[in-house]
A and B are shown apart, each in its own frame.
Chain A
Amino acid sequence: MRETAVTPVQVTGTVLTTRRVDAYHALTVVAPGVAERFRPGHFVSVAVGGPQTSMLTRRVFFVHDVKPDYGGTVEFVFTGRGPGTAWLAERRARDTLDLVGPLGRPFPLPRDPATCVLVGAEYGSATLFTVADALQQRGCRVDFVLGAASADRVFGALRARRMGETTTLTTEDGSLGMRGRVADVLPGVIADVRADAVYACGPMDTLRGVTAVAVEFDIPVQVAVEERMACGIGVCMTCVLPVIGDDGVTRMVRSCVEGPVFRGERVRFDDVGTIPFDALGAPGGGTRNVG
């Protein structure tokens, strides 16, 4: 039940508001064409550095929120640590941004009401709130597990507490919630709420841990990967990772167009950053690869 891709648009969006959220920055941009096509799990790409920029790759961000104001706005969250996001962090209201979106395949949603655990690490949590919204509209029960290295990097704890039946927080330094990582507390949460499905977003090692737990409980897990991208539209071939297809064959697929949402058990997390020897077209891959 793969969601079909929607046609992205390129817009010059006007920055509506900027705010700091703990360790992160959030920008709300008026982008009508993007907002109206948006579905949970989609992301947007932004050109950084202005018209004479020396930064040629676009920066991609999951969408935190979509509102109908001013014809449609999208909000995204970022850290501001690299030169591109530092430029974004300096944007002020009424500045314009070159935005392309919505991009990627969104999260598939259950047809019937179900109990879903939404797991987010660091600012990967940002993408979960539109998912939670869509799930609740379908009568699903939503529980959150959010975590990060420290309290100021747990994104959206307050909103999760308002939306979720339960919210479990983890930090690696113990400054908020339970000490540890999201995958450590997830088995308890799944058992307590009798979860039917897991939705997750965050760094690759978090997703690996979350997927392992869901597989243990034999429930479906949808993960949105944060792979490094340069274009976001499928032309640069940068954001590939090994994913097992319906036919059982591993392919190096682009997380921007074939993802960013994958069934967790299909992603070969242990092999991310490599070309597995049995992947289609791998060097020395044997007779299967001979054209």
Chain B
Amino acid sequence: MSVDMRTYLGHVELGNPITTAAGCAASGAELAQFFDLARIGALTTRSITMAPRAGRPTPRVAETPSGLLNAVGLQGPGVDAFLERELPWLAQRGIRTVVSIGGGTVAEYTALARRLTDAPGVTAVEVNLSCPNIEDRGRVFARDGAASAEVVASVRSVMRYDVPVVAKLSPDVMDIVSVARACVDGGADALSMINSPIGMSIDTEAMRPSLAAVTGGLSGPAIRPLAVRCVWQVHAALPSVPIIGMGGVLTGRDAFELILAGACVVAVGTALFHDPYACLRVLRELEELLAARGFHRLADAVGLAHRPPGTSTRHRIDLEESSL
């Protein structure tokens, strides 16, 4: 039995719910050596910035138990080279592309959105709010609902009406639901969570921080419970807002967990470093898992864990009703 894996990001239909997480698939061409990227729901680009960025010094990563600390610093070619080379390459191959954007000021995000608004091949725009705000002593936008909403509203106002704007939230906040609500009020069509929480490790041989940048974002299965919690809380508060869930998804079971918590799209990130085929494997495993539990449609499983205790699953009700 095949499962209907289609899902919606705002009004945009994706063939299946698996995407790459921002910054984990480089330009796309690297993974295309292994499989056809058009087979996954969408590819999320690294965060595109106005100017080229050289990123942070090395060492940029440190392996931690079931996790990975990274401080790459948004290394990338800048929006000109992205629009000239990388986006057309993706568009020609029919790869649905969620373009992640990052900036240091509201004006920079707006300028990026303006550059993207007429570019062919942009399926959605994901606003990376975990960038230091130059105008606020370098504190990240994502830490504050008002700052996040300002960015989202300004991007939404210049982006084409038919391109969904996704706000990417950080778990490093007191109340993620209030930031999520502020972003939705600011015009976000969807939310994605979680960006990597900030961590640190010290090399006990050298007796120095392991990363050149001292602190870095923690990713991998170590943060999965954090991701499930955030998706759960936001979906409970804003059940009609589509959520892209990410954080330590290694298997179809992990993706299913986020879907049960309320995500309708699941991004695979750090797993790609371990296994270039991770997206396709997660997709296959998720489909098998849904089929094994008797689901006909992925949409029936979204947020299903929120049902009150004691109630049976929706699709089982459907089955019982149809058999009557």
Contacts and interface: CB of A to CB of B under 8 A. Distances in A.
B63 A55 contact: yes
Chain B CB within 10 Å, residue with most, of A56, A252, A273: A56
Contact of B33 (A230, A233, A290): A233
Interface stretch (B6-14, B73-81, B173-181, B304-312): B73-81
Nearest to B54: A281
A175 interface: no
A241 B275 CA distance: 24
Contacts of B78: 281, 291
A86 B24 CA distance: 27
Given A54-B66, A56-B63, A275-B54, A237 B75 contact: yes
A272 B277 CA distance: 31
Given A281-B78, A291-B78, A240 B34 contact: no
A281 B274 contact: no
A289 B52 contact: yes
Given A8-B33, A56-B274, A275-B57, A235 B51 contact: no
B123 interface: no
A10 interface: yes
A281 B51 contact: yes
B25 A235 contact: yes
A190 to B, nearest CB: 31
Interface string A96-107: 001010000000
A215 interface: no
B58 A56 contact: no
A280 B78 CA distance: 10
Interface in A220-248: 227-228, 230-231, 233-241
B162 to A, nearest CB: 26
Contacts of A251: 54
A140 interface: no
A104 to B, nearest CB: 12
Interface residues of A, number: 40
Contact of B272 (A231, A238, A285, A289): A231
B270 interface: yes
A12 to B, nearest CB: 12
B30 A235 contact: yes
B130 interface: no
A235 B33 contact: no
Contacts of A272: 58
Contacts of A212: none
Nearest to B63: A57
B213 to A, nearest CB: 11
Contacts of B72: 236-238
A58 B277 CA distance: 14
Contact of A236 (B34, B65, B273): B273
Interface in B47-62: 49-61
Interface string A29-49: 000000000000000000100
A169 to B, nearest CB: 29
Contacts of A236: 24, 61, 70, 72, 273
Interface in A52-66: 54-58
A237 B26 contact: yes
B55 A240 contact: yes
A291 B79 contact: yes
B54 A282 contact: yes
Given A235-B272, A238-B70, A273 B57 contact: yes
B276 interface: yes
A231 B273 contact: yes
Chain A CB within 10 Å, residue with most, of B34, B57, B272: B57
A240 B72 CA distance: 10
A230 B54 contact: no
Nearest to B49: A291
A137 interface: no
A275 B55 contact: yes
Contacts of A227: 58
A230 B276 contact: no
Contact of A238 (B61, B66, B221): B61
Contact of A280 (B52, B57, B68, B271): B52
Chain B CB within 10 Å, residue with most, of A234, A236, A285, A291: A291
Contacts of A157: none
B253 to A, nearest CB: 13
B163 interface: no
Contact of B67 (A10, A56, A274, A285): A56
Interface string B197-226: 000000000000000100000001100000
A7 interface: yes
A55 B220 CA distance: 10
A257 B57 CA distance: 18
Contacts of B55: 237, 240, 252, 275, 281
Nearest to B67: A56
Contact of A291 (B52, B57, B63, B274): B52
B31 interface: yes
B276 A273 contact: no
Nearest to B82: A291
A291 B30 CA distance: 25
A238 B51 contact: no
5 contacts: A7-B33, A10-B277, A56-B271, A233-B34, A291-B78
Chain A to chain B: the 8 pairs with minimum beta-carbon distance, closest first:
A281-B52, A281-B54, A231-B273, A234-B30, A291-B51, A54-B66, A281-B53, A291-B50
Given A8-B34, A233-B30, 8 more contacts: A10-B277, A54-B65, A56-B273, A233-B33, A234-B30, A236-B24, A237-B60, A280-B52
